[in-house]
Amino acid sequence: MKIPGVALGALVVAAGVSLYFHESGSTPTAPTIMQSASPAGDARVAQLTRQVEALQRSLSAVQSQLASQKQTSAPDRPAAAKDSPPPELDVATQRAQELERRRLYMAGVAAGFNNEKIDPAWATRVASRVSATFEGNEELRKRLRGVECRTQTCRVQMDEDDSVALSRQMPFLSLSLVDVLPSMSVDHIEQGNGHSTMILYMSSRAGAASGAGK
Amino acid sequence: MSSRFVSVIAIVCGVVLCRSAERPAFATDINKAAPQCQADFPEAMDLIMHENNGVHTAPQSTSFQWVTCSIPRSPLAANATSGSFYVDGDNLGGASTTCWVSSYDYTGVLLGSTSFTTSLPHYDMLLTLPVAQLGVWAYTSLTCALPANANGLLRGVTVVQ
């Protein structure tokens, strides 16, 4: 946005200068001719001449600036294009793109879990914590379908439906496991009968840091 | 002469335009103070105190209480890989506070969450979610378990845009 703004300004300056000279006559010597005609006009013409000279200097400076910006930005053009906002898409297309991005992300999370080695000590200890948390909550217990832990991630599978009963329990789940599994990514797999399976990939990797440097 | 005046004005406007184009654009963070946070459960409504500088449990509250705060946000930049949230508050007398940020799709599907627990007297915690969980239409909220007996003040949350 910066370069087009400068370019627009330079264009307006150029148009103004051009218009000025067009109105003053086709040659810059016109003020000299007027000078001999009237002393009052002489002073005014001299003032305008100074103004035009000053503006011409400004125009030259702007043109130099524009040229240097073009030179500086040329190597960064691919990066700038990457940063620029995507072209306008309709809502349905944008939502489809987001869904696909999320699907790819969750596929990566699942692959990462499948490739994770098993640390027996950590896996046993944390799986016990997860199971105990579910056992202690009726709503969570009846939905639990499986817990599997590896080195830093646990995969928890639960039945879900359209009711809000499960989402009401999520704070309890997070509170109980925040010290061992502070972050989670959630996938949902439709079962085709109005029910779906919620898969929680709960990770021990810290999702938080002290923001002392804010 | 008036057309000369117009041309001079045009030149001046052009110079001003050039200079204003130099002004850089900044993304905008959003600060949300915690007094807007609400009790999660009806039985706790009288046990949550809203102050001008935050929210805490009532002195007579004998256990922790849940509050949830909406987090207003804008779509992330096209090249962003994650979104961040600062959560600020205080703990008194060695109490601890647990909070997490959740993100839900516009259809109500839970996408993910990230949490912290701390007993720092003054905390300023940074939470991060990946961009895949912070879509353009995703809704984010902050839920905290505030310590009993007014032993903790949740001050607010800042979305880093």
Distance from CA of B100 to the nearest CA of A (A): 8
Whether the model clears a pTM of 0.80, i.e. scores above it, the answer is no
In 3D space, the residue among A74, A181, A187 whose CA is nearest the CA of residue B116 turns out to be A181
* ipTM at complex level: 0.79
* Angle between helix A39-73 and A2-24 (nearest 10): 150
- Distance between CA A10 and CA A209 in Å, rounded? 48
Distance from CA of B41 to the nearest CA of A (A): 10
| Residue of A1, A104, A211 with shortest CB distance to B124 | A211
Distance from CA of B137 to the nearest CA of A (A): 8
Residues of B in contact with A70 (CB under 8 A): none
Q: Do A207 and B115 touch (CB under 8 A)?
A: yes
A102 close to B111: Cβ distance less than 8 angstroms: yes
3 state DSSP class of B138: coil
Residues of A in contact with B3 (CB under 8 A): 19, 23
Fold of B27-160: Jelly Rolls (2.60.120)
- Backbone phi and psi for residue A14, each to the nearest 5 degrees, phi listed first: -60, -40
Residues of A in contact with B8 (CB under 8 A): 16, 20, 48, 51, 55
Q: Do A105 and B130 touch (CB under 8 A)?
A: yes
- Distance between CA B5 and CA A48 in Å, rounded? 10
pLDDT tens by residue, chain A, 214 residues: 444 455 555 555 555 555 555 544 444 443 333 444 456 667 777 777 777 777 776 666 666 555 544 444 433 433 444 455 555 678 888 889 889 999 999 999 999 999 999 999 999 999 999 999 999 999 899 999 999 999 999 999 999 877 778 888 888 898 899 999 999 999 999 888 778 899 999 999 876 677 655 6
Distance from CA of A115 to the nearest CA of B (A): 20
First vs last C-alpha separation in chain A:
29
3 state DSSP class of B13: helix
In 3D space, the residue among B22, B12, B20 whose CA is nearest the CA of residue A17 turns out to be B12
| Residue of B11, B66, B113 with shortest CB distance to A17 | B11
B126 token code pair: 């940074």
Break chain B into its structural domains and give their ranges: 27-160
* Spatial CB neighbours of A24, under 8 Å, sequence gap ≥ 6: A30, A31, B4
